[in-house]
A and B are shown apart, each in its own frame.
Chain A
């Protein structure tokens, strides 16, 4: 195996590993986003007004 091929193999291994590391970070970021900022269904405006009026009655 020539030194050029050896270097190419090294870069390829580092490259593939690098992409997986990068994507794994992304994966973790998305999991964190889902955990700390989960989707919440927006309440219709009517419901919101009802809640406010209930609070004011109390």
Chain B
């Protein structure tokens, strides 16, 4: 009889450790969200390199377990493997390394060839500051509002970097929101692009960009670094690495380093970043009214960024001579979702004139958007940290 009772006790203890005993509705909701991300990545091919690790991370982070048992498996349990890997997010190590890889794969030629496009990348950052004001009005503290606003830059690493410094407790919601909207660029941007442009504007053909010399390409990142160092030193962690990566690419003598930065290094960091950010969305800390508000403001900031980019091109066109006008369909590319938003410009442009290739022109504001959102992050960090 005693042995039977002992077996029953052991089974009861075992049951207490299983996911079935510890599952709460929040876990189920988050597991469904994780599965939805994986579905979007595989079926719709929306940013699969990001959504697969994040989606899988959400599953890992929301496996119900007995938190009191101190099994060292949760991302928030000090000393667990996930907690150690998560330090790269919390301490802000991963985003600069991602920027190094982005720099090593970015060609700034389209921007150097037509430098006025850089102003579109500046205008689109208005979304960040509009969201920052709205978040403040909605009751968020200034540092939280700054971190939420950066979602409008459509730049995952920048959003993670800034929120890890300004509002670590909102990091999961902000990161998931930023990456979701980046993935949803093909869904969110086109309606606003059509709504804000006339048929004549959509078929504007832009001049073929001039050829850019190698010397210009080499000097660009060096000048960029110096400019950042003197004007926005708080943006150095991101922009410094971006320009360093770009110099590795353009110098022509560090091919191996450039290939490592844009290949194995960025891939490794993307896996670690995606997985740990996904796992940080543990239902107990993630499912809150605040997270929903972050999602709402994030969507708004992304839309405002798209709209201001397009409207700014229309504004520029007032002053530009005939033949030098810019197609406003590239205004959406001022956000830094590279190269997705530039592809959207190309795609929508070709719907109205199949012979109009906007991709090379849209890449200009697109890479300017990467710089712009990092500058915005630097400014917010300078004011709110």
Contacts and interface: CB of A to CB of B under 8 A. Distances in A.
Contacts of B116: 27
A21 B133 CA distance: 21
A15 B216 contact: no
B121 A23 contact: yes
A25 B227 CA distance: 8
A16 B125 contact: yes
Interface in A12-33: 12, 14-16, 18-27, 29-31, 33
B216 A39 contact: yes
Contacts of A21: 231
Contact of B111 (A25, A30, A31, A37): A30
A33 B219 CA distance: 8
A18 B227 CA distance: 13
A45 interface: no
A29 to B, nearest CB: 5
B211 interface: yes
A35 B213 CA distance: 12
How big is chain B's contact interface, by range?
Answer: 35 or more
B129 A31 contact: no
Given A5-B133, A11-B132, A12-B133, A18 B232 contact: yes
A38 interface: yes
B115 A9 contact: no
B118 interface: yes
B272 interface: no
Nearest to A30: B115
B23 interface: no
How big is chain A's contact interface, by range?
Answer: 20 to 34
Nearest to A11: B383
A39 B212 contact: yes
Given A12-B132, A39-B213, A25 B231 contact: yes
Contact of A9 (B119, B133, B223): B133
Contacts of B106: none
Nearest to A32: B223
Contacts of B146: 11
Interface stretch (B58-66, B282-290, B323-331, B369-377): B369-377
Contacts of A34: 112, 115, 210, 216
Identify the 7 closest CB pairs spanning chains A and B, nearest first. Answer: A12-B129, A30-B115, A23-B122, A8-B136, A39-B213, A15-B379, A33-B216
Interface of B: 111-112, 115-116, 118-119, 121-122, 125-126, 128-130, 132-133, 136-137, 142, 145-146, 210-213, 215-216, 219-220, 223-224, 227, 231-232, 368, 371-372, 375-376, 379-380, 383-384
Interface of A: 4-5, 7-9, 11-12, 14-16, 18-27, 29-31, 33-34, 37-40
28 contacts: A8-B133, A8-B145, A11-B129, A11-B146, A14-B379, A15-B380, A18-B231, A18-B232, A18-B375, A18-B379, A19-B125, A20-B119, A20-B122, A21-B231, A22-B122, A22-B375, A23-B372, A23-B375, A26-B118, A26-B227, A29-B220, A30-B111, A30-B112, A30-B115, A30-B216, A33-B223, A37-B215, A39-B213
